[in-house]
Structure 1
Amino acid sequence: MAAFRHISDAVAVITLSNPPVNALSSALLQAVHKALGEANEDSAVKAIVLCGDHGKFSAGADIREFGQPSKKRGPGLLLLCDLLEGSKKPVVAAIEGVALGGGLELALGCHYRIAHVQARVGFPEVNLGILPAASGTQRLPRLIGISPALSMITTGKFVPATEALKLGIVDEVVNENTVDKAIQLAKKVIDQPLGSRQLSTLPVQCPPNAEALLDEALVKVKKQFRGALSPQACIEALRAAVRLPYSEGIKKEKELFDFLYNTDQPRAQQYAFFAERKVAKWTLPSGVSWKTASPQPIRTAAVIGLGTMGRGIVTSLAKAQIPVIALEQDKKQLDLGSKAVMSLLDREALKMKQLGQSAAASQPGPVQFTLDYSKLKDVDIVIEAAYENMVLKKEIFRRLSAICKPKAFLCTNTSGLDIDEIASVTDRPQMVIGTHFFSPAHIMKLLEVVYGQNTSSTTISTAMHLGKMLGKIGVLVGNCPSFVGNRLMRLYIEQVIFLVEEGSKPEEIDRALEDFGLAMGPFRMMDLSGLDIGWKSRTEIGLTGPNLPTGTPARQRGSKRYSPLPDILCEKGRFGQKSGHGWYKYEKPGDRNAIPDPWLHNFLSEYRGIHNLKSRHISHDEIIDRCLYALINEGFKVLEDGIASGPEDIDVIYNNGYGWPKHKGGPMYYASLVGLPVVLTKLEKYYEANPDIPGLKPSGFLKKLVAIGNPPLKEWQSHLGSQSSKL
C-alpha cells in the first residue's frame, strides 16, 4: 500500500497508494506508519517526502470503511500525524490533485507543504455529519488563524492551491513535477531546526474578539443548517483550540467526534453521500445500463427561451465551456435575456478567478444570441426552456424536428408535462428526453432526467453525461405527471394549504417545517417562486378559472377536497414576492423579507366563515406528520409505479432540489429511520379523519413493507413484486 525509495541525495519518498484516490484505509495507514519508521531509522535518509500515487495526494478516509466502528480512522490517523510532526528528519508533503479530510490532516502533520497549481485542499467532514478527527481542528487554526479555519471547517469548501498559498496552508505552489520540487525543498532544509514547523507547538492565531467571532458563527450555522450538529461541533472544537493547549484540544476534538458518531446524523449524511453515487449508475429494466450505453459528444448546444430558467441553463452550458446558441421569439426578450446572461457570466468568471482558477479555466464558452431558428441546424443538443404549456412546447419541437440535424438530441426543461406527447410531434422520439433543471439553473445541483417510452439508451446516457459536464447531479426518472420531485411536492403543498384552512397560520407552518430542518418553509417558498405559476397551470387544466363547470363546489373537485385559497389570492393580485404580497407581505415587490400579514389573517377568518370551517389549534407534531408523511407516502407510490428505480433516487432529488436537510438523509431514509409502522399508523389516523384527501391514503407498497416486518431501506426494491416499471 505504501513504499519509500531512496533518492541519491538522501531523500526518501513515501508514496500513498490506494487507487483511485489514495483513500486512507486502515491498511494504508499501517503501511505508511511502517515506511515512516523505516525512513527515520535509516541513517542514509536525511529528509522525507510524502506524496500520493496517480497524481493525487489523498481524498481522505476510505468510504468503504464508513459504518465500521472498529476501523474509525481517528486514532490511527492521529498517531501517524503526530509521528510525522515528531520526525527528527524534515518531512515535506507533495500535494497533487487533492488533499481532503484526513489527507489534509496528514499534510498538516508534515513540516512543509508544496502543492501543484491545480491541487485542492479542504475538510469536507462536516458534510458527512462529523468533524476532522485527527487534529485538523487543532492544527489548522495554529497555521492560518481562527477565522479562515472556521470558514474552511464549517463549510467543507475545497480551497484551490493558489488560495491555500495565500492562507498559508502550503509553502509553495508549482506548475511542474511536484514531487521533484518537494525533493529539492527537502534537500534545502536538511539539518534545519523544525520547532517552528511543528504546528502542535504553535499558539492559535486569533484576534482579540475570537470568542465573539465563534459565538456569531454558532448563531449563523444554527440558522443556516437547522438541526445539523456537525457544524456546531466544528465550532466547539475550534473554540477548544483557542482556549486550550494542543493536548487538551485534541481530547475535546475526539469527544466531539465521538458524540457526533453516536447520533443518527453521520449515517444519514453518509447515506446521502453514497446515494448520490448510486443514482449515477442507472439501469433500465431491459438490462441496459450506464455501463453499456455510451454518451455522444456534446460540442455545441442551443437553448430556446431566455426567461429565468433559460438564462440559467445558458449560463451553465457556457460555464462548462460549451458553445451555446440562445434563441428567443422577439427582440425585446432577446435583448433582456442576453444582458442578463452576460451579467451572470461576468459574475461567474469573477468568482472563478477569486477561487484561483486560471484565465483559461474561468473563460466561459461563447454564447450567440439569435431570433433565427435556422441557426440551430448544426448543434448537437437543444434544450427547450419555454413557458410550461404543452401546445407551445409541441409547436417548438415540430420546428426543431424539421430544422435540427438528424443526430441532434432534443431536450425539454418541462417540470411535469408528458415527455411522450412532446416527442410524438418529432421525427425522432428516440432522441427526445426531459432535462428538468432547478432554479436558479446555474447554481442548483439537481438535474431530473426524464425519459419516455421511446427514448433510447444513448439519449439517456448523453443527457446524464451532460449533467455531469455541467456539475449537476443527474437522477434518471420515468415519465408521469410532475415526474418525481414535483409529484411529491404537490401532496406536500396540498397539506399545508389544508392546514391553513383548518386553523394554522402560514408562519406557524413555515416555522415548524424549518425547525425540522427544511431550507425554506412552504409558504415562503411559494411566495418566492410566484403563486401565479401554479394558478396558470390549474387554470389550463380546468381546476379553476372560467372553464370550471358551472355548479362545481368551491372546495371540491370530484370526490377530492380542493382548496381555492391560492386561486383567490392570485385573483386579488397577490403573487408573492414579485407583487409585494402573497402568503406574506413584503416592504416592496422583489423584497425577500417575509412579514406576517394581518390582512391575510383577517381574510382567512372570513374565508373560514364563508365555508363554515371551524378553526382549531393544530399542533407542531400534526403539521410535521401530515406534511412529511403525505410526501413520503407519495414516494412509496412512485416506487410502486416504477417511476424511480429506488428510494435513493427520491432522496437525492429532495436533498439537492427541494431543501431537505441532508442530516436527515432524505424523505425515504427518514421514513426508514422513524420506522415504517409509525408512518403507516399516522397516515391511517389522518386518512380516517380526512377521507376526502386521497394523498393521505397509505400506499399499498408501504402496507406491504410493514406487513413483512419493516425491512431495511436497501431491501425495499426486492419486495416490489412484478408490477410493470415505467422506467
Structure 2
Amino acid sequence: MELDVFVKVVDVLTQNLQVSAGKLQIKSVLKRSSQSPELNVRKSVGDLTRRTSVCPAGRHVTAAEALQLGIIDEVTDHNAVDAAVRLAQSVAGKPLDARRISTYPCPRPPDSDVVFEKVMQEVRRDARGAIAPVTCVQAVRAAVALPYAKGMEREKELFATLFTSGQARALQYYFFAQRAVGRWSTPSGARWDTSKPRPVRKAAVIGLGTMGRGITVSLAQAGLSVVAVETQEKQLLAAKQAVTGMLERGAKRRGAPLVLDQIKYGRSVQAAADVDLVIEAVFEDMALKKSIFQQLSRLCKPGTLLCTNTSGLDIDELASQTQSPELVVGMHFFAPAHVMKLLEVVHGPRSSPEAVATAMQLGKKMGKVSVAVGNCRCFVGNRMLRPYVMQAYFLLEEGATPEQVDQVLEDFGFPMGVFKMSDLSGLDVAWRMRKAEGLVLPASAGESARIREGSRYSPLGDLICEQGRFGQKTGRGWYQYDKPGGRVAKPDPWLHGFLEEYQTRHGLAARRIDHQEVLERCLYALINEGFQILQDGIAAGPEDIDVIYVLGYGWPRHRGGPMFFAGQVGLDKVLQRLEHYHQVHPDVPALKPCSLLRRLAASGNPPISRWREILQKPRSQL
C-alpha cells in the first residue's frame, strides 16, 4: 500500500522522481518517469554489459542497485511515503526539464558494438529460442545508437513484434494454465469446489533417501510437524545432517526462522502412529512398498491419509493392501523435492474426493503447483517421457549421435537434451526399472534383443549400463566427464565406436539424420502419448499435461507446453508427420497417431480452449 501511495505522489507531483524503501527489491521492468529501463542507459553508458544484463533476464534488482543504475532517485530505510513527499516538496516549483531523459546527450563508447555483440551471443545462448531477451538487447542497442525519438520508435516496433508473437500467446496460455490446474476434477465426479480437504498438522515421511529428505524439508518449511523415519542407522544420521543443512540454507535464503525443532526422527514405522498424513518415499520396489502400506494400515490412527511418492507404480495395488483404500493417493514429487515446484497428485478409482483435495491443498501449502492425474503406469509425465527417450535411442541406432540429438533439443529450448538429462539423473535408475519390467535380456538374445512384445525396442541403454557407465556419478555415460561427479559433458570417442560396432552387429546402416527429423520424432512421439493420456482420462485437460511438462521436465515455457505446441504447429500437420514416420517405422507403436488426435484434426484444428469440450462429447457408436 505504501508503495502505491508513494508512486502516486511521485507521478502526480514531480513526474520525474522515485523513492525506494531500502530493503525493497524492484523488478527490472519498473519504470522511471514512465520511461522504459532500456532508455535509462542514456544516463550512464559506461557499463553497457551490466545494463544489458538486467533487462533480458527480467531479474530483480535491490534498491541499492536500482539507485546505482539510475532507475530510482533515492533509497530510504524509513517510511517511503514520507521520503517521497519530502523529495517532491524539495523540487516543487522548480523546473524539471533538465531531468527529462529525452534531453540527455547519449555518448557512444567506441567499443559499444563489440560489447553488444558479445552480450547478444550470451543472451541468445541462454535464451534457448526465446525471442523476448534478444529483443531487449536490440531495444537497449537502439537506445544507445539512435536519437531519442527514433530509439523510442524502434522500441515500439520491437514491442509490437513481441506482443503479437506466438511465444507471447504461449506464455499467456501457460500463465492461465497454471491457475486452471487448481480447478481439478476426476472421472468419478469429484471436483475442487465440492471436495473439502482435511486439516493436516502433523505428517510422517517414511524413507530418508534423496527424495524423502527433500519432502521432509518441504513439509517443515510449510509449518507442519514432521516425523521422519529411516530404519537404517547410517542412513538416518546422514539424513539428519542433510536435512539440517537444507533447512539452514533455506532459512538464510528466505530470511525465515529455522524450523529444525519441527522435525522428530525415528527408526520405526511405529513413530508414524499418530500423524494425520504419511508420505512413503522408500526405494521404488513394489514388494517393499506393499509391506510398508500393510504396516501403516494397522498402525496409524483411523482416517490417516496414506500417500506414496512412487514415480510410476500402481496406486490401486498399494491401496489394496490397506483397510481403507479410499484414503490412499499418490504424491509424486520431483527431485530435488524441496526445490521443484511440481507435484503430481495421483488418484485411483477408490480414492475419496476428500483424500485428493487434502493432497492438493497440502501441495499448495508447500508452495507446489499440484496437478491431479489418474492412475496408470508412470502416470502422466514419465509415461510421456518413455516414447521420447526411446525415439532418441532409435535415432542413435540409425546414425545420429548423442551430441546431435541433444543440440537439437536444446536449440528448441530444453535446458538439456535427453542424453545429458539421463547422465545427470543416473542411467542405472531407468535400467533398474526396465529390469523389473522384464525388458532387459542377455546379450546372447541376438535379434530378439531389439524386439519386445512384437514391437521395436532399443537395448542401447541396457548395454551402456552393463559397461558400468551410469552417467555423471561414474564419470562415463552417454558422454565422458573429467571425473566421477563431474558436470561438464564431453563427446566420448569410445561411445561413438560402440555405436558403430552395435550397428554392424545388428546389420544397421547409419544414415544422415537432419534437425527436423530429430525434433519431430522425439517431440511428436511425446505429444502423441499426451493425446492418448487425454483419451484415457488420465489427465482432465491439456493444461494439466502442459503444466507438468513445463514445471517437471524442462519444456520451454515460451512454447507453452507440448499440447499447446501441437496446436500451434497445427494438429493436421502433427498427424501427417506421425503418419509418415509410422509408415517408415511400422514396428514402433508410439508413432501411430492416437485416435483423439485424428478426431481433433478432423474437427478443423479447434483451439486448445475447446479440447475439453470435444473430449466430453460422446462419440458415435456407428
Superposition TM-score, scaled by structure 2 size: 0.89
Give the Cα–Cα distance (whole angstroms) in 1 for the partners of residues 49 and 331 of structure 2: 40
Give the Cα–Cα distance (whole angstroms) in 1 for the partners of residues 585 and 204 of structure 2: 48
Give the Cα–Cα distance (whole angstroms) in 2 for the partners of residues 313 and 169 of structure 1: 41
Which residue matches 1:629?
A: 524
Equivalent residues of 2:340, 2:551 under 8 A apart: yes
Which of 589, 593, 617 is equivalent to 2:484?
Answer: 589
Structure 1, residues 12-40: CA drift from partner, whole Å, max 9, x if none?
Answer: x9998xxxxxxxxxxxxxxxxxxxxxxxx
Which residue matches 1:614?
A: 509
Equivalent residues of 1:143, 1:169 under 8 A apart: no
Structure 1, residues 637-679: CA drift from partner, whole Å, max 9, x if none?
Answer: 0111011111111111111111111222111111111111111
Which of 18, 31, 40 is equivalent to 1:112?
Answer: 18
Which residue matches 2:36?
A: 136
Q: How does 1:218-233 map to 2 (within 5 A)?
A: 218-233=120-135
Which residue matches 1:90?
A: 14
C-alpha deviation, 1:631, in angstroms: 0.8
Equivalent residues of 1:384, 1:412 under 8 A apart: yes
Q: Specify which structure has the bigger relative contact order, considering alpha-carbon pairs within 8 angstroms and separated by 6 or more residues.
A: 2
Equivalent residues of 1:143, 1:199 under 8 A apart: yes
Equivalent residues of 1:90, 1:111 under 8 A apart: yes
Which residue matches 1:383?
A: 279
Give the Cα–Cα distance (whole angstroms) in 1 for the partners of residues 586 and 40 of structure 2: 58
Structure 1, residues 519-576: CA drift from partner, whole Å, max 9, x if none?
Answer: 2111111111111111111111211157x99898111112111111111111111111
C-alpha deviation, 1:693, in angstroms: 0.6
Does residue 365 of structure 2 align to residue 465 of structure 1? no
C-alpha deviation, 1:311, in angstroms: 2.3
| Residue type at the aligned position of 2:184 | W
Structure 1, residues 276-335: CA drift from partner, whole Å, max 9, x if none?
Answer: 111111123455422222333333332222222222222323333433332212111112
Q: How does 1:180-579 map to 2 (within 5 A)?
A: 182=84, 186=88, 190-191=92-93, 194=96, 214-244=116-146, 246-352=148-254, 357=255, 359-360=256-257, 366-545=262-441, 553-579=448-474
Equivalent residues of 1:133, 1:254 under 8 A apart: no
3-state DSSP of counterpart to 2:250: helix
| Residue type at the aligned position of 2:37 | T
| Residue type at the aligned position of 2:158 | L
- Higher mean Cα deviation, 575-584 or 137-146? 137-146
Which of 10, 13, 26 is equivalent to 1:121?
Answer: 26
Q: What is the percent sequence identity of the aligned residues?
A: 48
| Residue type at the aligned position of 1:646 | G
RMSD (Å), alpha carbons: 3.4
Structure 1, residues 68-92: CA drift from partner, whole Å, max 9, x if none?
Answer: xxxxxxxxxxxxxxxx76x6x336x
- Higher mean Cα deviation, 158-167 or 374-383? 158-167
Q: Which structure is higher in helix share?
A: 2
Equivalent residues of 1:450, 1:477 under 8 A apart: yes
Structure 1, residues 87-146: CA drift from partner, whole Å, max 9, x if none?
Answer: 6x336xxxxxxxxxxxxxxxxxx51334496x6532479xxxxx9996323355568975
C-alpha change, 1:405 and 1:141, in structure 2 (3 Å) is farther
Give the Cα–Cα distance (whole angstroms) in 2 for the partners of residues 323 and 245 of structure 1: 61
Equivalent residues of 2:17, 2:88 under 8 A apart: no
Equivalent residues of 1:417, 1:481 under 8 A apart: yes
3-state DSSP of counterpart to 2:522: helix
| Residue type at the aligned position of 1:171 | E
| Residue type at the aligned position of 2:458 | S
Q: How does 1:17-166 map to 2 (within 5 A)?
A: 50=7, 89-90=13-14, 111-115=17-21, 121-123=26-28, 135-138=35-38, 141=41, 149-158=51-60
C-alpha change, 1:351 and 1:240, in structure 2 (3 Å) is farther
3-state DSSP of counterpart to 2:473: coil
Equivalent residues of 1:543, 1:557 under 8 A apart: yes
Equivalent residues of 2:222, 2:365 under 8 A apart: yes
Equivalent residues of 1:319, 1:365 under 8 A apart: no
Matched length: 616
Which of 669, 691, 694 is equivalent to 2:586?
Answer: 691
Structure 1, residues 352-377: CA drift from partner, whole Å, max 9, x if none?
Answer: 3xxxx4x54x7677333332333323
3-state DSSP of counterpart to 1:720: helix
C-alpha change, 1:719 and 1:579, in structure 2 (3 Å) is same
C-alpha deviation, 1:341, in angstroms: 2.2
Which residue matches 1:70?
A: none
C-alpha deviation, 1:149, in angstroms: 4.9
| Residue type at the aligned position of 2:133 | P
Equivalent residues of 1:221, 1:231 under 8 A apart: yes
Superposition TM-score, scaled by structure 1 size: 0.77
- Higher mean Cα deviation, 369-378 or 443-452? 369-378
| Residue type at the aligned position of 1:424 | S
Structure 1, residues 208-265: CA drift from partner, whole Å, max 9, x if none?
Answer: 9776655444333322221111011112222334445544432232121122224311
C-alpha change, 1:432 and 1:558, in structure 2 (3 Å) is same
Equivalent residues of 1:111, 1:198 under 8 A apart: no
C-alpha change, 1:250 and 1:336, in structure 2 (3 Å) is same
C-alpha deviation, 1:477, in angstroms: 0.9
C-alpha change, 1:408 and 1:132, in structure 2 (3 Å) is farther
Give the Cα–Cα distance (whole angstroms) in 2 for the partners of residues 488 and 321 of structure 1: 34
| Residue type at the aligned position of 1:434 | G
Structure 1, residues 408-454: CA drift from partner, whole Å, max 9, x if none?
Answer: 32221111111111122123322221111111222222111111112
Equivalent residues of 2:206, 2:269 under 8 A apart: no
C-alpha change, 1:478 and 1:187, in structure 2 (3 Å) is same
| Residue type at the aligned position of 1:90 | T
Which residue matches 1:642?
A: 537
| Residue type at the aligned position of 2:36 | G
Structure 1 gaps of 5+ residues are 1-12, 17-47, 53-83, 92-109, 126-130
